[in-house]
Amino acid sequence: MTEFLVRPARTADIVQIRDLLEPYVQRRILLGKDLVVLYEATHEFVVAEAEGRVIGCGALHVMWEDLAEVRTLIVRDDWLHRGVGRRIVERLEDNARELGVTRLFCLTFEVDFFTRRGFAPIAEQIVDPDVYSQLVRSPDEGVAEFLDLAHVKPNTLGNTRMLKRL
C-alpha cells in the first residue's frame, strides 16, 4: 500500500485544500471558505500527503483558553478508510495539547468517525455565560456555529455537536 505522511500545511497546499473542500461545500456538508481565508488559516491546517499530492486535510481553530474546534477535515475519496482521517485528527489533538487546549469541539455528520476518536455528542452550551458573551464578538462563522446562533442555523441543520476532553 502507498504510504502517506501527515505534516503541517504550507501555503502551496492551500489550492489543493480548496479543491478537496469544494464538493463538500456544494453538498452543504462543510462551510465554504474563500481562498484568502484559507491562506490566512494556513498555520491551522495539517495535511496528509502521498506521492507529492495532498490527500487529506484538517484544521484546528482555537476559540478560548481551553477550547478549540476541529474543522475542515477531509480525506480524498480514493484514500477513504485507510486510517488517513484518524492520523490527521491525532495530529490535530497533539497540536491542541501543545497549545494548552483541553477540550476539542466539532460539528459534524460523521458521528461514528468522531465517536471512535473519543468525541461524544453534546446538547447544552459548554461555555459559561461570560465566555459566551466574549465569543459572540468573533466575526468567525465557525464560532457562530459553535454558539448555535440563529443566523447560521441553516448551515448546521442535521449536524451533531460533539466534544472530546484531551
Ligand X SMILES: CC(=O)SCCNC(=O)CCNC(=O)[C@H](O)C(C)(C)COP(=O)(O)OP(=O)(O)OC[C@H]1O[C@@H](n2cnc3c(N)ncnc32)[C@H](O)[C@@H]1OP(=O)(O)O
CB of 118 to ligand X, least distance (A): 10
CB of 139 to ligand X, least distance (A): 20
CB of 130 to ligand X, least distance (A): 26
Question: Which residue has cell 484546528?
Answer: 60
CB of 109 to ligand X, least distance (A): 6
Instruction: Give the 3-state DSSP-derived string for 29-60, with helices as H, strands as E and coil as C.
Output: CCCCCCHHHHHHCHHHEEEEEECCEEEEEEEE
With a CB cutoff of 8 Å and minimum separation 6, the contacts of 119 are 104, 106, 162, 163, 164
Q: How far apart are CA 67 and CA 65, in angstroms?
A: 6
Q: Rule CB under 6 A: say whether 29 interacts with ligand X.
A: yes
Q: How far apart are CA 72 and CA 82, in angstroms?
A: 18
Q: Rule CB under 6 A: say whether 72 interacts with ligand X.
A: yes
Q: Rule CB under 6 A: say whether 24 interacts with ligand X.
A: yes
Q: How far apart are CA 52 and CA 74, in angstroms?
A: 17
Per-residue x/- track, 84-123, ligand X (CB under 6 A)? xxx-------------------x-xxx--x--x-------
Kindly list the residues in this chain that would bind ligand X in the complex (CB under 6 A): 24, 29-30, 70-75, 80-86, 106, 108-110, 113, 116
